[in-house]
Amino acid sequence: MTPISQVSGRAYPFGRKNVDTDVIIPAQWLKTVTREGLGQGCLESVKAEPGNVFTDPEYAGSPLLIAGDNFGCGSSREHAAWALLDMGVTCVIAPSFSDIFSGNAFKNGILTVVLPQEAIDRLMEVAKTDPISVDLENQSVTTPFQDRFLFEIDPFRKHCLLGGLDEVGLTLAQDREISAYEGKAREALPFLASPVLHAA
Amino acid sequence: MTTQPRTLYQKIWDAHVVDTRDDGTCLIYIDRHIVHEVTSPQAFAALRASGRKVRRPDLHIAVPDHNLPTTARRDASGNRVPIADPQSAQQLDLLEKNAPEFGIRYIGDADIEQGIVHVVGPEQGFSLPGATIVCGDSHTACNGGLGALAFGIGTSEVEHVMATQTLLLKQSKTFQVNVEGKLGAGVSPKDVILHIIGLVGTAGGTGYVIEYTGNVFREMSIEGRLTVSNMSIEAGARAGLIAPDETTFAYVKGRPYAPVGAEWDKAVAWWKSLATDPGATYDKSIHIRAEDIEPTVTWGTSPEDTAPIGGVVPAPEDFEDASKRDAVKHSLEYMGLTPGTKLTDIAVENVFIGSCTNSRIEDIRAAAAILKGRKKADNVKWAIVVPGSGLVKAQAEAEGLDKIILEAGLEWREPGCSACLAMNPDKVPAGERCASTSNRNFTGRQGPGARTHLVSPAMAAAAAVTGHLADVRELTEQA
Ligand code: SF4
């Protein structure tokens, strides 16, 4: 997974509340075979609204998204995180997130930043014209106008995101324990440890 | 390691702990992973994107089953018959490419070993007693019939197992389901598990691993035990277990991946030590009399909606719990049933004999025994028998069972998941009923608007020849 320390650039000033995972990625996109390509279906219904920020060339390719309360509620589909990532979004800023979504976002290397509504309102303002900068190391969001908002983040998640460590990566870091187990199992349970195809 | 008396589950768990974290979460080693086409594409793609390998490709096998059509896969000149649904075709195509790319053995769509994941595992000796086994399908619990700790996983976990051969897990509680006594005539393993689910409910096993104990399971064949453990998931449990014994060893011995020679002896010695120790305790237990179990069918849209075939469709008022009353009301509406109707008066237009629950040779034999010399009822429009694997198919054909099935007017198909789930061309039309040997009677499971009645293979055959849900005992007594 790509490590995250800074996310800087334009932000989609979306700001909507209670955006559920069905809106983030509608069900008909779930039969795909890759995580890639879901960006097309990401926020499909919003993109169809006249004047929406996602099809406005001003914001094309923004790495940041500013949302309203309870972003990512609804079903547990991991596709929602995949879709945002495929659209190029690596950081979402909102007053609150659904637990499952923020877990899935984290698993896939997306930074979710929680800030109070006043800060969100100010960032929405700035985002219309200027870039925003998120610094994970210092846990701050800044603007070219000297705004500086600090945010909280679980230290473990911060560590993983900074190091680009996903769950698989973390377990791989325990390679020594896994190899030790395999060595032990080869002795004690050889019939489980290495299956051999005997018949043709 | 503890010297306290331990359960079968605890012993398998202890033998697989790689690491224990402060919060009690354990890194558990996974011995076997069976891969199919639906839940694996994103996992393979993630490995590729991160430049990771499958840690132990020899501990994985891949086989397509979920959306493979059950009609002929090769034309007369041996060419592959194209798959109409482009998304199914793409998933199947990807599995065929991904598996060898990552060094995993791929069993092809027309190979004799091809079949439903949970049929192939035990049949190939790939699933072994005492092993930890996973697959991206919840009915992986099936393998528990061999005394393996087996459960379904999601796409992220598929990737985790491929890359690390482990999973992060918290230990489950243990639930003993004890059935003692003598099963009556016409009562099959499917009836036993349907009866259990009816008693325990679909939430009864939530947070637990079930261990099935008692003489009924000890005397049951391995295929029967696989049927029982398969539906542990419908009782809310993540896995089921039956202690491995001589019947298990005899079943496993000589299978393609089964250990041989000194390893075999070592395996048997270990397997024998796995049975729950006297004095070990379960977190909860239920005791059932075998004599109370009758041929059982479901009438609703939850697997707990069971009744003995001699019964009637219940009314919502028959249930104490208000939310259950409500669920029953919706269920009966969906199923198009009126309370008080005799179950044997429910006509069916479709019959499905197959799925990982009931598609092994004993199931096909049980169905054929009822079909023999009889004809499909005229009101039954669609009746198919789908063997669980190419090997089951070949065995059935060697025994002439295919002829009995065809003569009775049922179809004899190629192996796959088929009408168990509406993902391939085998679907039950909206508003029609199906007597089905599969494991889920959820709304829309066999197709949008399809009405499923879960039954045993013999009961499904009985429905096919009578045209309605029927008591198989009446057919066997006449014969
Ligand atoms: S037959 Fe049904 S339950 Fe079994 S593996 Fe296939 S889809 Fe899953």
CATH fold match for the domains B173-244+275-292 and B296-478: no
Reported as a pLDDT band with limits 50, 70 and 90, residue B356 is very high
pLDDT in tens, B176-211: 999 999 999 999 999 999 999 999 999 899 889 999
Residue-range domain boundaries for chain B: 8-169+246-268, 173-244+275-292, 296-478
Contacts of A194 in chain B (CB under 8 A): 58
Mean predicted confidence (pLDDT) in B152-174: 92
- Evaluate if residue B25 carries a pLDDT over 90: no
Q: Which amino acid is at B471?
A: D
Q: Is A112 helix (H, G, I), strand (E, B) or coil?
A: strand
How many alpha carbons lie under 13 Å from residue A15 in its C-beta half-sphere? 15
pLDDT given at position A166: 82
Is A121 in contact with A147 (CB distance < 8 Å)? Answer: no
Report the distance separating Cα B380 and Cα B397, nearest Å: 24
pLDDT given at position A76: 64
Do B31 and A192 make contact, defined as CB atoms within 8 angstroms?
Answer: yes
Contacts of B39 in chain A (CB under 8 A): none
Burial class of residue A81 in the structure, from the number of CB atoms within 10 Å of its CB (0-12 exposed, 13-18 middle, 19+ buried): buried
Residue-range domain boundaries for chain A: 6-165
- Evaluate if residue A93 carries a pLDDT over 80: yes
ipTM, 2 dp: 0.93
Reported as a pLDDT band with limits 50, 70 and 90, residue A34 is confident
Is B20 in contact with B28 (CB distance < 8 Å)? Answer: no
- Evaluate if residue B479 carries a pLDDT over 50: no
Paired tokens of A68 = 């309203």
Do B42 and A34 make contact, defined as CB atoms within 8 angstroms?
Answer: yes
Mean predicted confidence (pLDDT) in A29-54: 89
Reported as a pLDDT band with limits 50, 70 and 90, residue B478 is low
Pocket test for ligand 1, best of B133, B151, B231, B420 (most atoms within 8 A of CB): B420
pLDDT in tens, B107-124: 999 999 999 999 999 999
pLDDT given at position B401: 98
pLDDT given at position B1: 52
A62-71, A152-161, B406-415: least confidently modelled range? A152-161
Mean predicted confidence (pLDDT) in A90-112: 90
Do B18 and A36 make contact, defined as CB atoms within 8 angstroms?
Answer: no
Mean predicted confidence (pLDDT) in A170-180: 95
Task: Give the total residue count for chain A.
Answer: 200
Report the distance separating Cα B64 and Cα B161, nearest Å: 19
B141 lines ligand 1 (CB under 6 A): no
pLDDT given at position B444: 87
- φ, ψ of residue B353 in degrees (nearest 5): -115, 110
Report the distance separating Cα A66 and Cα A113, nearest Å: 9
Tally of CB atoms within 10 A around B177: 29
Do B164 and A171 make contact, defined as CB atoms within 8 angstroms?
Answer: yes
Homologous superfamily of A6-165 in CATH?
A: Aconitase, domain 4 (3.20.19.10)
Give the residue from chain A lying closest to B161, CA to CA. Answer: A168
Report the distance separating Cα A76 and Cα A99, nearest Å: 10
Query: For B8-169+246-268, which CATH class?
Result: alpha beta
Distance from CA of A89 to the nearest CA of B (A): 18
Burial class of residue B110 in the structure, from the number of CB atoms within 10 Å of its CB (0-12 exposed, 13-18 middle, 19+ buried): middle
- Evaluate if residue B23 carries a pLDDT over 80: no
Q: Strand B451-454 and strand B433-436: pairing?
A: parallel
pLDDT given at position B127: 98
State the DSSP code for A31: T
Give the residue from chain B lying closest to A186, CA to CA. Answer: B263
Reported as a pLDDT band with limits 50, 70 and 90, residue A57 is very high
Is A199 in contact with B261 (CB distance < 8 Å)? Answer: no
> Could you identify the residue written with the tokens 């299978």?
B255
> Could you identify the residue written with the tokens 């194209």?
B82
Report the distance separating Cα A145 and Cα B374, nearest Å: 85
Do B164 and A178 make contact, defined as CB atoms within 8 angstroms?
Answer: yes
Report the distance separating Cα B69 and Cα B422, nearest Å: 11
Give chain A's mean pLDDT. 91
Look at phi and psi of residue B431 and say left if phi exceeds 0, alpha if psi is from -120 to 50, else beta: left
Report the distance separating Cα A8 and Cα B124, nearest Å: 54
B139 lines ligand 1 (CB under 6 A): yes
B117 lines ligand 1 (CB under 6 A): yes
Distance from CA of B258 to the nearest CA of A (A): 8
Cα angle, residue A142 at apex, residues A136 and A146 outer, rounded to 5°: 150
Contacts of A171 in chain B (CB under 8 A): 27, 160, 163-164, 166, 168
B34 lines ligand 1 (CB under 6 A): no
Higher per-residue confidence, B423 vs B284:
B284
Residue A113 pairs in a beta bridge with A93
Report the distance separating Cα B317 and Cα B322, nearest Å: 9
**CATH 3.30.499.10, domain B296-478, yes or no:** yes
Report the distance separating Cα A28 and Cα B299, nearest Å: 31
Show which residues on chain A lie within 8 Å of chain B, measured between beta carbons.
1, 31-36, 78, 82, 107, 166-169, 171-172, 174, 177-178, 181-182, 185, 188-199
Reported as a pLDDT band with limits 50, 70 and 90, residue B150 is very high
- Evaluate if residue A17 carries a pLDDT over 90: no
Homologous superfamily of B173-244+275-292 in CATH?
A: Aconitase, Domain 2 (3.40.1060.10)
Residues 6+ apart with CB under 8 A from B405: B364, B367, B368, B371, B385, B411, B412
Q: Which residue, among A1, A30, A191, A196, would best test binding to B if mutated, counting the most B CBs under 10 Å from its CB? A: A191
Mean predicted confidence (pLDDT) in B255-283: 97
- Evaluate if residue B361 carries a pLDDT over 50: yes
Report the distance separating Cα B451 and Cα B445, nearest Å: 9
- Cα(B417) to ligand 1 centroid in Å equals 5
- Evaluate if residue A73 carries a pLDDT over 90: no
B176 lines ligand 1 (CB under 6 A): no
Reported as a pLDDT band with limits 50, 70 and 90, residue B387 is very high
Report the distance separating Cα B412 and Cα A121, nearest Å: 65
Give chain B's mean pLDDT. 95
Q: Strand B239-241 and strand B208-213: pairing?
A: parallel
Residues 6+ apart with CB under 8 A from B147: B8, B129, B130, B241, B242, B243, B244, B248, B271, B274
B420 lines ligand 1 (CB under 6 A): yes
- Evaluate if residue B477 carries a pLDDT over 90: no
Report the distance separating Cα B364 and Cα B403, nearest Å: 12
Q: Strand A132-135 and strand A140-142: pairing?
A: antiparallel
Mean predicted confidence (pLDDT) in B411-422: 95
pLDDT given at position B422: 81
Q: Which residue, among B25, B54, B166, would best test binding to A if mutated, counting the most A CBs under 10 Å from its CB? A: B166
- Evaluate if residue B24 carries a pLDDT over 90: no
Distance from CA of B286 to the nearest CA of A (A): 32
Q: What percent of chain B has pLDDT over 90?
A: 89
Contacts of B22 in chain A (CB under 8 A): none
- Evaluate if residue A191 carries a pLDDT over 50: yes
Contacts of B19 in chain A (CB under 8 A): 174, 177
Contacts of A32 in chain B (CB under 8 A): 87
Q: Which amino acid is at B231?
A: M
Q: What percent of chain B has pLDDT over 70?
A: 99
- CA nearest to A104, candidates A135, A83, A125: A83
Closest C-alpha residue for ligand 1 atom 2: B420
SS3 for chain B is CCCCCCCHHHHHHHCCEEEECCCCCEEEECCEEEECCCCCHHHHHHHHHCCCCCCCHHHEEECCCCCCCCCCCECCCCCECCCCCHHHHHHHHHHHHHHHHCCCEECCCCCCCCECHHHHHHHCCCCCCCCEEEECCHHHHHHHHHCCEEEECCHHHHHHHHHHCEEEECCCEEEEEEEECCCCCCCCHHHHHHHHHHHHCCCCCCCEEEEEECHHHHCCCHHHHHHHHHHHHHHCCCEEECCCCHHHHHHHCCCCCCCCHHHHHHHHHHHHCCCCCCCCCCCEEEEEEHHHCCCEEECCCCCCCEEECCCECCCHHHCCCHHHHHHHHHHHHHHCCCCCCEHHHCECCEEEECCCCCCCHHHHHHHHHHHCCCCCCCCCCEEEECCCEHHHHHHHHHCCHHHHHHHCCCEECCCCCHHHCCCCCCCCCCCCEEEECCCCCCCCCCCCCCEEEECCHHHHHHHHHHCECCCHHHHHHHC
Report the distance separating Cα B375 and Cα B364, nearest Å: 16
Q: What percent of chain A has pLDDT over 90?
A: 67
Contacts of A196 in chain B (CB under 8 A): 257, 259
B226 lines ligand 1 (CB under 6 A): no
